[in-house]
Structure 1
């Protein structure tokens, strides 16, 4: 395994400044859009960690979910959200490390963040998500279902690995191949829902 890059604020800021954001779909991910369209409680307090340009947050906010929070270690994507959605509250665009967030949420949305952190932090991610969720809280999102890189993001994985990280904290309600991924990710993504134990 090659030496791991330093995945610091500077690393991610540089990605945005040089427009090397290949993970960015430019729109809400279809599996998540489908999930959002089924949500009825618009009072849900939702966190999108490592949200980047977060078209998911934009979509939710425009549907009337006004308790959406985005946290990112880089400032530029948060500014980008504000440019697209001027009414998005500044206090809900959090420039911080996910692991430093101190709040409570009903729902955490996972979209290309888990694959971007150092894989050594995956167990800590599961523990932090558990800590941040209210009783009956959920984590819902997408995970890559292939090996990918070992020295830089995105880092892949498999269903069995993910289950091992999450099962100490969550009931795994669903984790299966996504049927409605964008074309380049067909057969490469797992859609999952975790319910806090």
Structure 2
């Protein structure tokens, strides 16, 4: 049984117990977005939370953008900040129930929030919903696996072992431009879907 269910996350947002919420887009993801050219990319941000990444993308003209969370409150928070964000692109659902394809998926504190027993399911689901030549990019925590999370940690070796069968590892390295509280604790990555998966 996964205790990190809808009720768990709704309660955290209701009580404002969201210590991971930095209140703005993280620098490594902002810099990645800044070099994107095609505004037509179909983008998903799963486990998005308050999703300052989505707000940044939207204001830069990326309109084929979908934001997913199992808890309703963070989606409402985003809608309050961007009233014209389409309701049908706010996905209140379990990530593992997604049945669509995307060109780009942005990972920001979602993987590390899942119970580690779900990591293999995460990787296979990502490989299913990323289109050919699509990319999964973002940040993964780099500190010892913690049983008291979320967030749970992880290591570069473990990520390589899990993702390499499904993705071409373009980049997986220490993030040089993390925000101060996460300095030396994050790996920035760009994984490209393997053509045979």
- TM-score category of the 2 structures, normalised to the smaller one: over 0.9
1:106 aligned onto 2:98: no
Deviations 1:114-162 (A, max 9, x none): 0000111111111101100111010000000002531330000000001
Could you tell me which residue of structure 1 aligns to residue 186 of structure 2? 189
Deviations 1:53-77 (A, max 9, x none): 0000000000000011111000000
Q: Between Structure 1 and Structure 2, how many residues are aligned?
A: 194
1:94 aligned onto 2:91: yes
1:143 aligned onto 2:140: yes
Unpaired stretches in structure 1, ≥5 consecutive residues: none
Rounded Cα–Cα distance in structure 2 between residues aligned with 1:68 and 1:181: 24
Could you tell me which residue of structure 2 aligns to residue 128 of structure 1? 125
Of 22, 25, 45, which residue of structure 1 is paired with 2:42?
A: 45
Could you tell me which residue of structure 2 aligns to residue 175 of structure 1? 172
TM-score scaled by length of structure 2? 0.96
Task: Report deviation, 1:5.
Answer: 6.5
Rounded Cα–Cα distance in structure 1 between residues aligned with 2:132 and 2:149: 35
Of 59, 71, 80, which residue of structure 1 is paired with 2:77?
A: 80
Unpaired stretches in structure 2, ≥5 consecutive residues: none
Off by >6 Å, runs of 4+ in structure 1: none
Could you tell me which residue of structure 2 aligns to residue 159 of structure 1? 156
- 1:111–1:141: 8 Å Cα contact kept in structure 2? yes
